[in-house]
Structure 1
């Protein structure tokens, strides 16, 4: 095991992209430390660990074998189909349920963080976070109800209108 060594100032200025380049293509670099030479590549044959505060990242090299490379046609043709109203309603319902589960998990986590040992400023921050969560959850419910009402109205039947609802749903998911 190689001893833990702090990064030098020169290493700190090296970009992550350069580090990855050395990991993938720097197989000729070997260890220089010991009296006996070692032919193992420092980028391919060793695990490298980096720590900062309470986090650790580990990197190891694993070669992959490319089986096939398929080049697409120079021009891609996409047939646009408007989504069906029923599938949009189901997608909206599923999305609402998933987001509701996330907000429920956030509620549980915030409740578990509330204890009597908090300082006044920390308690105020917790209240701010909880208020922000409530506001965002309310906005999401309002948006969902608006989208559902829009889909259920008889005026949304053209492919362009359905596409507009679909794009709005996709944007919200992002």
Structure 2
């Protein structure tokens, strides 16, 4: 499962064949009501957890199938009166860099690029279903280069590092770039 922010406070979820919810039926038309309800409950909880959306919100989803047989969901969150909610976005300028990565391939590509320009460090945290890469107290010059590289492969997290650490699992402390680049 991949999740990306889109303009106009929308989210895009890509559900691949390998994802457990994808294979609950032969096609979307064959899913039972219970299977569909479970999928949307999980999607909604993930969105609430990773974007600071309150659990009393509503979710509007448009569903389609892409050319590569991936299910696409374009999602908007609404309040009780049906008004679109803003997706929380972090503002740049914090002393820490915390980015969310939807695909493992993006993390590996980032780490290889970073290592090739002598950037090191980072903490890798997994908070279902995403990986987060955290850099704390980077030097100003390395920080700017690192931030540009991270924006190319991931999305800035709207959550704070303490929340991610508390709710997720630290996979690699302080040496994530080397850990990921080495495979």
Both proteins in one fold, TM over 0.5: no
TM (norm. structure 2) is 0.24
Determine which structure has greater relative contact order: mean sequence separation of CA pairs < 8 Å that are 6+ residues apart, divided by chain length: 2
Structure with the larger strand share: 2
| Structure with greater helix percent | 1
Structure with larger Rg: 1
